[in-house]
Amino acid sequence: MPIRFHLDEHIPASIAAGLRRRGIDVTTSAESGLVGVDDPSQLSFAASAGRVLVTHDADFLRLHAEGLAHAGIAYCQQGAVTIGEMLRRLVLIHDLLSPEEMAGRVEFL
């Protein structure tokens, strides 16, 4: 099974659209009714669904360091790369890594 993503509420909708155009399974916080939900709950939702959480929020790096279980985190500092570059890097993760390889891992975009 390929990697599936979950985008937190701060990731632009165009990222979800771009991933879907490439046939990649993605959910968003808005679609999942998770807007405004705290970070541990967001991470728990993504983990229970076996989805890599895509975020700009460095608090998720802290949760990872504290040992909170997750299916993977793809972190990108806000404004560090263009939307197109962020999309390209997520596609690369999808194409090169398995869900098992991403579990409990942080990838910096």
**Would you state the pLDDT for residue 79?**
85
**Would you state the pLDDT for residue 78?**
87
| Span 25-43, pLDDT tens digits | 999 999 988 888 899 999 9
Binned at pLDDT 50, 70 and 90, residue 107 comes out as: very high
**Would you state the pLDDT for residue 18?**
96
8 A C-beta contact, residue 5 and residue 52: yes
Q: Mind giving me the DSSP string for 10-43?
A: TS-HHHHHHHHHTT--EEETTTTT-TT--HHHHH
| Span 47-82, pLDDT tens digits | 999 999 999 999 999 999 999 999 999 999 988 899
**Would you state the pLDDT for residue 1?**
84
Mean pLDDT of 90-107: 96
C-alpha closest to that of 8 among 33, 40, 42, 41: 42
Mean pLDDT of 19-23: 97
